[in-house]
Structure 1
Amino acid sequence: MRHDESVPPTPRRPKPAAAAALTVLCLGIGLSGCGGESGAQAQPGKGGDPAPSSASASAPASPATPSPASTSPAPSKKPASPAPSTPAAASGPLSGKTVVIDPGHNPDNHLHTSEINRQVDIGTTHKECDTTGTSTNSGYAEARFTLDVSHRLRTLLQAQGAKVVLTYDDDRAFGPCVDERARIGNKAGADAVVSVHADGSAVGNRGFHVILPASVRGGGADTSKIVGPSRDLGTRIAGLFVRATGSAPSNYIGGNTGLDTRKDLGGLNLSTVPKVFIECGNMRDPKDAALLTSAGWRQKAAQGIADGISSYLNG
């Protein structure tokens, strides 16, 4: 917050605002065929193969989810915890690439307030180790949303041959802290890192935005080498997220561009590899919450992020 088995549902055309934003974003990154219908198949060499069914039998099974038509929140019971780091599942356009997925927050952070309130060095200042995240009015936690989308995203990327590492997979009591999240991506030598979130803003504030690292140098932070690549990664994700979901860029952050640059996030400041955050929507707005609690929409969200990552890695 501001702080997998299902095939994507039948495509629908983006809303007018989303379509206009998509045109701007696509022109900015020179993506051919980016203006197609929401959820359309990605072009070879751009979005890769979006169908999760193409994963080999060696890919770990993703947690069972409701049908795409469901709008019920995901169950709060913890799923079985796969290994946080898994090898590439198949040969494909992303073979040899490493992607780190960072599911924002942790469902049990609220049970460990003293630990997550501990201050950590983010290079330019100190901040809390982590936060609890937000939730919908019905109680669907951001941390549950981020894990679900991250699992779907992992399956899509593994189907294209990528090695995927999760910063955590519901396998620890709290955290990781923001500085550790950055170190996991750095240690993996990731070609791209995406931190998955959902916002907690006022009713009427709608849409998604991608957060890019600012130019920061101080203490242990130096983003000079990742600002440019991260902007490319984030811009591609924004454009293809519109196409996959039909959602419009945020109407309250980023001037309707879907992009926001910040220098106060340790997960970005301490990264030495290209990294962005994505706030997929506003959990506190009823209309956005209806999307975020839909399994079908979460599959579309994962597809849009995967397409953006694939487009970036394939150049």
Structure 2
Amino acid sequence: MTQLRLGLIGAGSWALAAHLPILEAARDDVEFVGVCRHGGDALGRIKERYGFRVASEDYRDVLAAGADIVVIASPTADHYTHAMAALEAGAHVLCEKPFTMTAAQAWSLVDTAERTGRHLLVSFGWNFAPMITRTRDALAAEGIGTVEHLAITMSSQTRELLADTGAYPDASPDTAPEQATWTDPLKSGGGYGQAQLSHALALALGLTGVRARGAFALMAAPLGARVELHDAICLALTDGGICSVGGASAHLGVDGNKHHLAVEAVGSGGQFTVDVFRERVSLFRTGSGQQDLPVTPGEGAYDGGRAVRRLIDLALGRTTDNPAPGELGARTVEALELAYRSAASGLFETVS
């Protein structure tokens, strides 16, 4: 195969900012076949700008045109339908986060990808960052034992976006984000948990391999927002450990709009700290002591293009390494689903 036929479903602001520039730079490997989004004027401009052969408001037209790889950046409520159709059509799939609205949907996609023999990736950008893959490899070589305590903290500049008073600073300036994608619970599934803590959970769960079995959560929606801006979550883990998750919508301009994100895990045989804001990774094992992994300045910044590059490499057989598979996406959805159930009920919710 000399070129991969590309289908893009959901060519909104984030796809224009994060995905299309990377795909355009990979034109030697990628043929722009089909694009889908709502809004005929914007759709026409994108078709002309990038040279897609087919442009339609119906995702089925994109798949019918033929696609080897499909990037899905539609609203969260549509991810399951679009990803399932793309996998069944024989495409390798990169799905934006949050992966799906429910854990049942997520695990169904995992099963389908396995049955069809297709690669399924979730766009958890930090999981592809070199500082994180080095940490993953170091933990694979010598872990920290059974995870007893996991702490996840995150804040990012989503205050205006989620309160419907402004845009996300990393959005494309050419196409304004459709606010309902983020602030209508029927489309988004929630607020900061879905928009940002999905990233933080993917980072932590990807490094540790843990899975949530229960949650108690408090969520706050100041500024009259329809979705929550802040989260405080306690998770019970299947291996007996516990996890605290804190997420906050920060003000625009804080620390140059760089995300604050840190994960600390304490296990039976050691512990580690990963801080992408301070760009630091520290490992401690009871047998060998402490080790600080090298981190190049700038590695902690979010890069939404890494997942697209990996989709291309996986589809072309250049690598078999997928740092953000559907299975990891499903575990993040499980944890968030429990958290939202708990915030609604006021009770400790467990996997049914």
More strand by share: 2
Q: Given the two structures, how large is their TM-score scaled by the length of structure 2?
A: 0.27
Larger RCO of the pair (alpha carbons < 8 Å, separation 6+): 1
Rg comparison, structure with higher value: 2
Q: Where is the helix percentage greater, Structure 1 or Structure 2?
A: 2
Q: TM-score w.r.t. structure 1 length?
A: 0.29
